[in-house]
């Protein structure tokens, strides 16, 4: 914890003064362009990966970058998505998975999560991804050899869940928002983007239009 406190002190003394004008502007409101939904994993830093500044990203994080399908039961993700889209007016939503994801390992073997009942229930939102991979590969059971494929498929399926949220559906129908599926490789720094037409993940710099390539 000591290094965290020292980091705060360094921020206040060395970083904040150089960005004072920016923070003064942000003190009165925000207008992010992107809703960035990713995993809670400590190895993922959205601003570092995207080289963005405070105010650029509205960030939502949870185990497995999960987006529950819309329902009448209010949850933190549902409220945050609605706020970002309907109130803040974001024009892009990124769902970003990552390599070596513990949540995806749990989704592969839910029977091992009996001692973590809330985690097990949460990851039931990933079941569609595991079922798709089982069907695609002809496998009755999945193991760690399927981790990469399940990680990618989970991003695709969470985007499908995202489309069920009324605020998102309305903006999609009006052509005012774009959805992006990413997978970040922790070891190499590579970012792969999902192409809805080819149904493949390709490097972000190979996407048509660069970062403007959308899944919708």
For the chain, what are the domain ranges? 1-30, 31-212
pLDDT tens for 123-177 read 999 999 999 999 999 988 999 999 999 999 999 999 999 999 999 999 999 999 9
Residue 201: strand pairing partners:
194
Classify domain 31-212 at the CATH topology level. Answer: Beta-carbonic Anhydrase; Chain A (3.40.1050)
Inter-CA distances, 100 with 1, 38, 115, Å: 25, 14, 21
Q: Which residues are annotated as a binding site for Zn(2+)?
A: 39, 41, 98, 101
Query: Does the pLDDT of residue 209 top 70, yes or no?
Result: no
Structure tokens at 195: 């192409």
Separation between Cα atoms, residue 54 and residue 11, nearest integer Å: 13
Q: What is the pTM of this model?
A: 0.93
Q: Which residues are annotated as a binding site?
A: 39, 41, 98, 101
């Amino acid at each position: 914890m000591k290094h965290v406190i020292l980091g705060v002190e360094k921020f206040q003394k060395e970083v904040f003064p150089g960005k004072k004008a920016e923070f003064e502007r942000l003190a009165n409101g925000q207008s992010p362009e992107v809703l960035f939904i990713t995993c809670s994993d400590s190895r993922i830093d959205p601003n570092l990966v995207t080289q963005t500044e405070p105010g650029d990203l509205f960030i939502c994080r949870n185990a497995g970058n999960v987006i529950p399908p819309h329902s009448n039961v209010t949850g933190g993700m549902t409220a945050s998505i609605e706020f970002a889209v309907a109130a803040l007016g974001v024009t892009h939503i990124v769902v970003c998975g990552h390599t070596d994801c513990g949540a995806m390992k749990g989704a592969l073997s839910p029977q091992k999560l009996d001692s973590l009942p809330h985690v097990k229930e949460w990851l039931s939102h990933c079941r569609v991804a595991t079922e798709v991979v089982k069907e695609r590969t002809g496998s009755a059971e999945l193991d760690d050899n399927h981790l990469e494929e399940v990680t990618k498929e989970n991003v695709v399926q969470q985007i499908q869940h995202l489309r069920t949220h009324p605020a998102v559906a309305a903006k999609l129908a009006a052509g005012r928002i774009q959805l992006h599926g990413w997978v970040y490789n922790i070891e190499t720094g590579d970012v792969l983007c999902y192409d809805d037409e080819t149904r493949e993940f390709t490097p972000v710099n190979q996407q048509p239009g660069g970062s403007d390539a959308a899944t919708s």
